[in-house]
Structure 1
Amino acid sequence: MQVELYVEDCFHFAPPAKAVNLGEAEIPISAETWSSWFRRWLEILQPDISPKSISEIGLRLTDDAEIQALNAQYRQQNKPTDVLSFATLEVFPQSQEISGAMPLYLGDIVISVDTAKRQAQQQGHSLATELAWLAAHGLLHLLGWDHPDEETETRMLKQQAILLKAIGIAIDIE
């Protein structure tokens, strides 16, 4: 399975295979690593998809100000949040015939690095771990997962932990 990932920060497009620079915050994850992680996660979450399939995902690393504006515009919540997902499959369902012939654009994930840094510090782990956690959460939303109640939230958190373990990051969700 191939994943075409578009990683950008709120100031400029990130060059591939280099760490993304978000102002003062150096993001310790290269675009190549992000692509590898998403590819592995999609293999786990969608094992029946052909290895020749191509999925596209947009990943935007931004700050609290921009994510607050997006949160207000799309969710009517005028406050920063850690991650937002904009799934295209909810809007543009694609048939198997179409998705087999061309890349399947899953949607966009937007992560606030400001919030991720605070949460990483609160959780006692690295910024890279928190960003991976949030990206996995965003991907699950792109694929239709949701957490409207405690039971589905627990299931989603467990799935995120499985995804992180698959890329060598251990998270305790207790």
Structure 2
Amino acid sequence: MGLRLEWINELDDYEIPERWIELLQRLLQTAGQSEGVEHGEVALTFVDNETIRSLNRDYRGLDRATDVLSFALQEVGIGESEIFFDEADEAMEFQDELLGDIVISVPQAIAQSEEYGHSLEREIGFLFVHGFLHLIGYDHQDEASEKEMFGKQEIILREVGLTR
């Protein structure tokens, strides 16, 4: 099964380049390998600032645009499996089916890439890896966890050639 990326572009006036999708698929495989995540699906949606602001307000109580949001859907731990039963009462095993959703604001990514002085591809890649690490349980609520998470992001980005 492996790791899969499903994506949708909700922007009417911005076409997502195919090279982004190829890059994000490489990043997903690299991040998964780095973190021991072999199976699952990540759903990625590209949106505008208004949409991400609405999501940020509704789900986090913050009424402002942001760059990336992650919505983890996994209820079992990474590397664990869950047993379900079909209609004939035969056990079926599903391993890490849907990891969750990542939502990226393309206008915010454009602004940040200009502000930080690096390519838009690097910013999109950074936001995607950041979102993926949130999906599998990483956070940055304190200095130590932020250092760990951001360190992992930089290693993964470097592995696929996305340096500053």
Whether TM exceeds 0.5 here: the answer is yes
Aligned to 2:63: 78
Q: Which secondary structure state, in structure 2, belongs to the residue aligned with residue 114 of structure 1?
A: helix
- How far 1:153 moved relative to its partner? 1.1
Query: Offset at 1:23?
Result: 1.4
For 1:145, which of 138, 149, 162 is the aligned residue?
A: 138
Residue 76 of structure 2: aligned partner? 93
Q: In structure 2, what is the equivalent of residue 2 of structure 1?
A: 2
C-alpha distance 125-100 of structure 1, shift in aligned 2 (>3 A): farther
Give the C-alpha shift of residue 104 in structure 1: 1.7
| 2:86 paired residue number | none
**1:122 matched to which residue of 2?**
115
1:36 aligned residue (26, 40, 59): 26
**TM value normalised by structure 1:** 0.79
Q: 2 CA distance for matches of 1:30 and 1:127?
A: 10
| Structure 2 residue aligned with 1:109 | 102
**Against the structure 1 CA distance between its residues 61 and 29, is the aligned structure 2 distance closer, same or farther, given a 3 Å change threshold?**
farther
Q: Tell me which residue corresponds to 2:89.
A: none
**What is the deviation of 1:2?**
2.0
Identity percentage of aligned residues: 34
Runs of 4+ in 1 over 6 A off after TM superposition: none
Aligned counterpart for 2:13 among listed residues 23, 28, 48 = 23
CA RMSD of aligned residues (A): 2.2
Aligned to 1:69: 54
Letter in 1 for 2:66: T
Deviations 1:23-64 (A, max 9, x none): 146546343432222012101111xx5xxx531000111110
Give the Cα separation in 1 of the matches to 2:56 and 2:143: 22
Contact 2:104 2:127 in 1 (8 A): yes
The alignment covers a number of residue pairs equal to: 154
In structure 1, stretches of 5+ residues that fail to align are 12-21
CA contact (8 A) 1:72 1:78 kept: yes
Higher relative CO (Cα under 8 Å, sequence separation at least 6) belongs to: 2
| 8 Å CA contact retained: 1:28, 1:128 | no
Asked whether the 8 Å contact 1:54–1:102 carries over to 2, the reply is yes
Please identify the structure whose Cα radius of gyration is greater. Answer: 2
